[in-house]
Amino acid sequence: MTSTLETAGRVGLQGTAAATPGTSSASAIPYIVSWNLTRRCNLACAHCYLDAVRRRTQARDELDTEASRAVIDQLGRTAPGAMLVLTGGEPLLRLDLAQLVKATVDAGLMPVVGTNGTLLDSSRAESLRDAGAAGAGISLDSSEPRFHDRLRGASGAWAGARRGIAAAGAAGRARVGGTPGVG
Ligand code: SF4
């Protein structure tokens, strides 16, 4: 029988486990889990790690809200206290993202949103914060807008990321990374 977690794995569940010194890796509990909530994205990065798609019809294996909550509950039991990075694809394309952030808190996990930032305005930043998001990771690949836009495959991506960073910062939830980071 396939567990909910294994089902989610087919759409991009990744974990990082750290073994306590003196224990076997088999008993290690993940302290960070990064979950690709969706394959959909509004950008087209050259380095995209999951061949992001534009349309919902191209991501038919995406879990709905109820199934996603079940995964989060299972993660809470598997890795209590872990940081859960809710990412994608672009997680802000999921209109239930704040609900999933709240479900993550309720499951005893620390939710962080990994996003390209372009869809993050003050309203959504505040709703994610109010739902319990501990932070938002937004990648800015260069101080040069044209370089970032070329890498991200979209004109205006740099400016959008900067707006997203400002919105997250105003909500008290910004963390900025480069290309290897989330989002
Ligand atoms: S922002 Fe992330 S998911 Fe979207 S195309 Fe770029 S690497 Fe892929």
142-162 residue pLDDT tens: 999 999 999 999 999 999 999
Across the strands, what pairs with 14? 34
Does ligand 1 come within 6 angstroms of the Cβ of 41? yes
pLDDT value at residue 51: 84
**Mean pLDDT on 30-37:** 94
Query: What confidence category does residue 126 fall into, taking pLDDT thresholds of 50, 70 and 90?
Result: very high
pLDDT at 160: 98
The pLDDT of residue 11:
36
Burial label for 4, CB within 10 Å (0-12, 13-18, 19+), is middle
Residue 57 to residues 60, 62, 104: CA-CA distances in angstroms? 6, 10, 27
Q: Of 7-21, 110-124, 131-145, 161-175, which gets the smallest average pLDDT?
A: 7-21
Is residue 81 within 8 A of residue 10, CB to CB? The reply is no
**What's the average model confidence in pLDDT over 15-42?**
74
Q: Find the largest Cα–Cα distance for the chain.
A: 51
Looking at residue 58, what is its pLDDT?
Answer: 77
Contact 175/120 with Cβ under 8 angstroms?
no
| Model pLDDT for residues 84-125, shown as the tens digit of each residue | 999 999 999 999 999 999 999 999 999 999 999 999 999 999
Q: What pairing do the DSSP bridges indicate for beta strands 83-88 and 29-38?
A: parallel
* Distance from the alpha carbon of residue 40 to the mean position of ligand 1, in angstroms: 9
Ligand 1: distance of its center to the CA of 120 in Å?
A: 15
pLDDT at 48: 92
Cα gap 112→106, rounded to integer Å:
14
Average pLDDT, the chain: 85
Structure tokens at 25: 């890796």
Site to substitute for ligand 1 among 40, 90, 115, most atoms within 8 A of C-beta: 90
Contacts of 111 (CB under 8 A, 6+ apart): 83, 84, 86, 100, 101, 104, 105, 131, 132, 133, 134
The type of residue at 45 is C
Residue with tokens 């979209």: 154
Q: For residue 177, what pLDDT is reported?
A: 61
- What integer is the mean pLDDT of 24-50? 87
Could you identify the residue written with the tokens 């872990």?
82
Cβ atoms 153, 126 nearer than 8 A: no
- Distance from the alpha carbon of residue 1 to the mean position of ligand 1, in angstroms: 32
pLDDT-based confidence at 54, cuts 50/70/90? Answer: confident
Answer yes or no: are the C-beta atoms of 86 and 75 closer than 8 Å: no
| Nearest-5° Cα angle at 119, 110 to 82 | 10
Query: Is residue 5 predicted with pLDDT exceeding 90?
Result: no
pTM attached to this predicted model? 0.84
CA–CA dist 39, 88 (Å, integer): 6
90 pocket-lining for ligand 1 (C-beta < 6 Å): yes
